[in-house]
Structure 1
């Protein structure tokens, strides 16, 4: 056996151990969000602002407007359970706005994340392109509004 073959075998064993750890005792979960009618995004006829509507969704904060835009374009955030930066990304949106965002938990769904070649969490899939790492909301907004 050559040194190169041994290196490859050790790498494969390490990958198998990592995948086994990820998959051990986990069930597949993806947080899905419901469709929000377009009229719930529009501004209030009386105030001209994004007043609260019948769904209880308020679109008058920049965070809510961005979350609604991300939902509209089917953007996805890829996250993992123990990721501190994923929690910070969620905090930037706030609880209500972040609840609107589609999130795939790579700890629970490693295959889905593998198919998208996600190597860092958080990562964003926006308009078909992957954007890795924690990002300021204004940068996410700029990316989301390119098209």
Structure 2
């Protein structure tokens, strides 16, 4: 199922391996919603904090990307603004879940 912990973790690792990035801000409710979809695997997510007040912030990087809102995903060099389901992120990043034996 798309909500299992194993699936969340595998997708988060896949996104990291692909060089994908989630840009967001600590105060952004949509970013919090996006992170919640990953459950505990959120620790693995490639996340960039855009607000200078946030932890480990990289506002210059975010400005260079000309982001229109948060969160915005960068996958394979393309920007995808907004919250995306795990299934959408899997499709955008060509994630193939290893079939269970």
TM over 0.5: yes
Structure 1 residues 104-137: Cα deviation after superposition (integer angstroms, max 9, x where no partner): 1110232211101112101101111110001111
Shift of 1:98: 1.1
- In structure 1, the partner of 2:76 is 127
Higher relative contact order (CA 8 A, sep 6+): 2
Shift of 1:83: 0.3
- In structure 1, the partner of 2:36 is 91
SS at match of 1:124: strand
Q: Provide the alpha-carbon RMSD of the alignment.
A: 1.4
- In structure 2, the partner of 1:106 is 50
SS at match of 1:131: strand
Shift of 1:75: 0.7
Unaligned runs of 5+ in 1: 1-59
- In structure 1, the partner of 2:55 is none
Normalised by the size of structure 2, how large is the TM-score?
A: 0.79
* Greater CA drift, 108-117 or 124-133: 108-117
| Aligned equivalents of 1:119, 1:104: Cα separation in 2 | 15
- In structure 2, the partner of 1:65 is 10
Of structures 1 and 2, the larger Rg is shown by 1
- Show structure 1 runs of 4+ deviating over 2 A: none
Matching of residue 82 in structure 1 with residue 27 in structure 2: yes
